[in-house]
Chains A and B, each alone.
Chain A
Amino acid sequence: MKRLALFTVILAGVLFAATASEFPRLGDPDSAPSRHLSPAYIQGSLPQTHTPNFVTAVLGDYRGFDTMFETAVVFLAGMSCFFILRALRRRGLTEVYYYRHKPTGVVLAMLAPRRISPRTSCFERIDADWTPQDMVVETMCLFMVPFIQVFALYVIAHGHYSPGGGFQGGVLLAASFILVGLSRDLRTVESLLTEKTAILTAAAGVCLYAGTGLLALFFGGNFLDYGAYASFFGAAVPAARSMGILIVEIGVALTVMATLVTIYKLVSSRGTVEEGL
């Protein structure tokens, strides 16, 4: 079987190499992709969509429908993880929760149904495999978080002019939460962005994108035709398209951030979202 697989891979490689000989050279200005549609995008993006970065224009406007479904794929990934991994009923698991009495440092172990209310200020919940953490690492990581988030906002908002956009910015935002999770614990992340909020945010992000598309119908345009908002924004059609791209990029960022945080929580805690990495 292994030999058969090796044979298949080699055969496929040879076939691909043989067929690639007909491809145009890399960066060839006379190749079909360079001549057919690219000029329309490169020359059209600034006058038509007010967006100097034509990659963003193609992604957010010309082929915005693809991007909407890609965002839906990200949302789907989060929902799939929730659907498959989330352990909502914990039958057969004997669970012990550990609480540390803050003034004395004494640790209590409580069997599953009994818990200490998180509002009781002199106890704090700790993970079963808790080890004292390095204060330097924790402080530095928490110190980094606001900077990462500001940079993420910049990446989202500046996608029109430079490389960036909703997907990248969303990943950066999620990274800031995951950094908190890695340097502190899962419960801190959960208190900052609860599972419920995260799922709602993920749905709201795609909904913002698709809703921007649907609302255009009521302004007399086609689905995702941001130009139809020109009268609403009181601006010219290209400026309205630019605004539309920004709105959908924000939607993408929300979905990507919330989905990645949700997936991180589910995978790191074996579906319980109680304690983990």
Chain B
Amino acid sequence: MTGQLPILTIAPLLFGAFAVTAGRFLFRRANYAVASLALAASFAASVLLAIQILTHGPAIYFVGGWPPPVGISYVADPLSALMLAFVSGAALCTFLASKSEIETSYPLKNSAFYALFLLAVAGHMGIVVTGDAFNLYVLIEVAALSGYAILAQGRERAMLSSLNYLFVGSLGASLYLLGVGYLYIMTGSLNMADLSAIIGRLTPDGLSGSTALAAAWGVILAGLFVKMGLFPFHSWLPAAYSFSAAPAAALVAPLTTKVMAYVLVRMILSVFTPDAAWGVPAINTLILVLATAAILYGSFCALAQRSLRKMLCFILLSEVGYMVGGAFLGNRAGLTGTIYHIFADLLMTLCLFLVAANIERGTGGRFSDMGGLFRRMPVTAAALVLGAASMIGVPPFCGFFSKWYLLSGAIAAESYAFAGALVISSLVNAVLFFRIFEIGFFGAPPDHTGQADQAEPAGESGHGHPGPIPFFRDEMPPARLAPLCLVAASLVVMGLLTGQIVRLVVDPILPPGLG
């Protein structure tokens, strides 16, 4: 049965989604258990697959028994196998951590939420493992459509923001599809490995030999940039992620941008070779400028925010700049940094969005509500410190190592503006998080939990409490804290395992001649 593992990573999610849909009418109370079981099965299969791939080498799975390029294939190499494990693990953690949140956020519609959640995860995992350019588009649709739906429920302008996301996201997906159409009309194939071979034959001297193929690459890039929210195409992202209910944001925010960055890396490595993808210096420079702008824009807008989740959304924008910039530095260190950062940022974003969900529940998500956070919610606050340290780039955490690779790549490519932006963004992150720490340590808590008067400054609102507030007063139950602690601890573990990850996962993927 080990040969079937690539499909078994996704099958439980599909069948789980149908089961909870039917379960709405048949076994409503067990639905949460069914959904968690599906996620756990998928995670277990992903971990087994990753172990199998790391010990026995890559595997190609022929869906329907048709060998590529006639049929669709799933390609499990070290990179995709590890990414599968990360995506399914992140989804499982989010799901386990937000049980009570889901029940209160979507009253009477839990089952529909579970089904959409599972299909969203299935879509993201399929994008990671597929070896077919058109199948990837179909899976982008699955992932995005379920994402739009679950992001639509929430506070204030959630519906409008989600509709906005739908318009922009559909545009991005259409651009990607157009690019795939270009590739098909020029090569006659949709399989990534086959495409790569034919493109190499058609344009031995790089993409500049064929305008249509260069246009295909350009259109695909534009589509991916829209989908991942790179700077000029970012306007949908902060609103869509900050107004929605917490569980949806904690699922979609870590996955979508990272999986799209993964697709970018896949396109560079598996469809267009790095030589061809980086063949036009003007485009590389343009993309580096966009990435630099994204980092600076995200960082400075984050400074202007007054609530935790909104701030995280803007940090996410600058992280997208990190990943795109690293992929277009044109050297090994940069691409290594991008790939490593996809994993690291997935964990960091997950950790911080889970923290934000807890804080919104416990004290309220505005900075003015968060006085006394370290006393009221010590565990959540500790996780916040770990996540923040990783975002800033403190050494043993994974965030440090991705910045290290990206910086050395930027210096090797003599792209000092990008290097400068990376440093500035780290410093701004430090300012952002230390401001929260200050409020959390020294700010007095508002009078009533979660009902702080907005106009009142945080420092003066605690007159009603003469004595110190008790420890753990607003802390979440252990069921919500356990997954969070696991994710926060994994930030350190991943940092310590950097050498192994780069040696086992990143190095085998990169072409040996890459400088």
Residues of A within 8 A of B (CB): 15-16, 18-24, 31-38, 40-41, 44, 61-66, 69-70, 72-73, 76-77, 79-80, 82-84, 86, 88-89, 196, 199-200, 202-204, 206-207, 210-211, 214, 217, 221-228
Contacts and interface: CB of A to CB of B under 8 A. Distances in A.
A76 B189 contact: no
Given A36-B188, A83-B109, A200 B22 contact: yes
B267 interface: no
Given A76-B145, A204-B18, 13 more contacts: A21-B211, A23-B185, A24-B185, A31-B188, A32-B188, A33-B185, A63-B134, A64-B64, A65-B63, A65-B135, A76-B146, A80-B146, A89-B107
A169 to B, nearest CB: 21
A224 B188 contact: no
Nearest to A67: B138
A117 B153 CA distance: 34
B210 interface: yes
B15 to A, nearest CB: 7
Nearest to A73: B141
B342 interface: no
B211 A63 contact: no
Nearest to B163: A84
24 contacts: A36-B187, A61-B64, A62-B71, A63-B71, A65-B71, A69-B123, A72-B14, A72-B142, A73-B142, A73-B145, A76-B142, A79-B115, A79-B116, A83-B106, A83-B152, A84-B149, A88-B107, A203-B18, A206-B18, A207-B15, A210-B15, A211-B15, A214-B15, A222-B7
Contact of B72 (A16, A21, A41, A66): A66
The B interface is mostly helix, strand or loop, or mixed, namely helix
A21 B210 CA distance: 11
Given A37-B188, A65-B64, A82 B112 contact: yes
Contacts of A38: 188
B42 to A, nearest CB: 14
B159 interface: yes
Which label, helix, strand, loop or mixed, suits the secondary structure of the A interface?
helix
B334 to A, nearest CB: 28
Interface in B1-54: 4, 7, 11, 14-15, 17-18, 21-22, 24-25
Contact of A22 (B66, B126, B212): B212
Contacts of B188: 31-38
B4 A223 contact: yes
Interface in B400-456: none
Given A221-B65, A222-B63, A224-B63, A31 B145 contact: no
A222 B22 contact: no
Contacts of B123: 69
Q: Among the interface residues A24, A37, A217, which one has the most CB atoms of the partner chain B within 10 A?
A: A37
A210 B14 contact: yes
Given A69-B138, A76-B119, A86 B109 contact: yes
B343 interface: no
Interface string B55-84: 000000111111001111000000000000
A73 B25 contact: no
B152 A73 contact: no
A77 B70 contact: no
Interface in B145-190: 145-146, 148-150, 152-153, 159, 182, 184-189
A46 B101 CA distance: 53
B308 interface: no
